[in-house]
Amino acid sequence: MVDKLYQTNDSDILLEIRDLDVSFPTGRGELRAVNGISYNVRRGEVMGIIGESGSGKSVEAYTILGFLKAPGKINAGTAAFEGRDLLAMSRRELETFRGREISMIFQNPMSCLDPVFTIGRQLTETLQTHFKGVSASQAREKSIEMLRSVGIRDADRLMKRYAFELSGGMRQRVMIAIALLCSPKLLIADEPTTALDVTTQAQILRLLKKLRRQTDMAMIYITHNFGIVAEICDRVSVMYGGYILEQGTVDDMFYRAAHPYTQALLKAVPRVDSLPPYEPLIPIEGAPVDPVNPPDGCVFHPRCAFCTEICRREAPPRTVFSAEHSASCWRLDGGAAEER
């Protein structure tokens, strides 16, 4: 067992999240949404974050970008983007950073498209906010070009329309176009295809894959679907109950999954092209963790088929298999579970 988080001193690291811990005070007590997670994203790669609903994926992403709203609290952690801690930035600094260096796309495009302005105005304003010298006609030209690159043929006409006039897939394309306008170094995609019909899901996924090949933008791709992970990710972090239980390359996950939770998720893999819209992950037995009253010991133990005495008592250490692959489970700790 190696305690150090990353064995390589990787100069390619774009974003490094360490020990991030986020909670919400609620009427029932403290809700532990994210419990000290650490991972990094290298330039140009796609890091997948996978886990069932409620595992802390969105909270983690919002927090990095400064979107966490009161009463949410960051209890600990850093998120170093090219060495600068996003969590320590002022609101103003973050605003210039967002859109320009890091962009985010969501499951529901209406959450970021403005209903009262035309699509064209939203695109050109995004550009002119971030690049002061850009003229109106340059902004228009660049906006049309971007709409075309996300597969919108009739971009000229679309510029004059409003978000509510568009189909779900079209809105998603517009949101992606806005996110990519300023050529960010990192795109955070939070389940961007989950709310779409099957055909549109496949189209948007294809578009994101194409953009990936054409630019050197890195991505954090949040999903509950291992089929999508296989399609687009390089590496994956598996989240449950606010913890990362396993991390590794896509091959590590599909051929060498070590954690019982990852193995259970993999058994539930639906084919990307056979997904009906809104289909939840095929459920794993047992109820998901209550983040206000998490279990003692390993967070997954109440649902784990391999649970032993120590799993109920103590959180497992992280076992490192390779520079990329690690998991936190007592079974993997050299038989320590049986000995205790």
Ligand X SMILES: Nc1ncnc2c1ncn2[C@@H]1O[C@H](COP(=O)(O)OP(=O)(O)O)[C@@H](O)[C@H]1O
**Which residues are near ligand X by CB under 6 A?**
24, 26, 31, 33, 51, 53-59, 72, 291
The nearer residue to Mg ion, 58 or 326, going by C-beta atoms, is: 58
Please name the helix (run of DSSP H) or strand (run of DSSP E) that holds residue 170, with its range, or none.
helix 168-180
- Omega before 288 cis (within 30°)? no
Contacting range for Mg ion; rule: CB under 5 A; set: 50-58, 236-244, 277-285, 305-313: 50-58
DSSP string, 280-293: PPPPPSSPPP-TTS
CA distance 180 to 182: 6
Q: In the bound complex, what is the minimum distance in angstroms from residue 225's beta carbon to Mg ion?
A: 12
Q: What is the DSSP letter of 176?
A: H
Q: In the bound complex, what is the minimum distance in angstroms from residue 94's beta carbon to ligand X?
A: 19
User: For the chain, where are the E strands, in sequence order?
Assistant: 13-26, 29-42, 46-50, 73-81, 84-85, 102-105, 186-190, 218-223, 235-240, 243-249, 318-320, 326-328
The nearer residue to ligand X, 58 or 143, going by C-beta atoms, is: 58
Q: In the bound complex, what is the minimum distance in angstroms from residue 61's beta carbon to Mg ion?
A: 8
Q: Give me the 2-41 binding string for Mg ion, x by CB under 5 A, dash otherwise.
A: ----------------------------------------
Between the alpha carbon of residue 34 and those of residues 37, 136, 137, 202, the distances in Å are 7, 43, 45, 30
The nearer residue to Mg ion, 223 or 328, going by C-beta atoms, is: 223
Residue number with the smallest Cβ distance to ligand X: 58
CA distance 33 to 292: 9
- Could you give phi then psi for residue 59, rounded to 5 degrees? -60, -45
Q: In the bound complex, what is the minimum distance in angstroms from residue 67's beta carbon to Mg ion?
A: 12
The nearer residue to Mg ion, 187 or 304, going by C-beta atoms, is: 187
Residue pair 262/250 in contact (Cβ under 8 Å)? The answer is: no
Paired sense of beta strands 73-81 and 84-85, if any: antiparallel
Give the up-direction half-sphere exposure of residue 50: CA atoms within 13 A in the CB hemisphere. 33
The nearer residue to ligand X, 57 or 301, going by C-beta atoms, is: 57
Q: In the bound complex, what is the minimum distance in angstroms from residue 213's beta carbon to Mg ion?
A: 26
Q: In the bound complex, what is the minimum distance in angstroms from residue 190's beta carbon to Mg ion?
A: 6
Q: Which does 55 bind (CB under 5 to 8 A by kind): Mg ion, ligand X, none?
A: ligand X
Block residue for tokens 């510029």: 159
Contacting range for Mg ion; rule: CB under 5 A; set: 7-15, 51-59, 67-75, 154-162: 51-59
| 58 touching Mg ion, by CB under 5 A | yes
The nearer residue to Mg ion, 232 or 311, going by C-beta atoms, is: 232
The nearer residue to ligand X, 104 or 182, going by C-beta atoms, is: 104
Q: In the bound complex, what is the minimum distance in angstroms from residue 313's beta carbon to ligand X?
A: 24
Between the alpha carbon of residue 308 and those of residues 80, 199, 304, the distances in Å are 37, 44, 9
Q: By the criterion CB under 5 A, which residues form the site for Mg ion?
A: 58
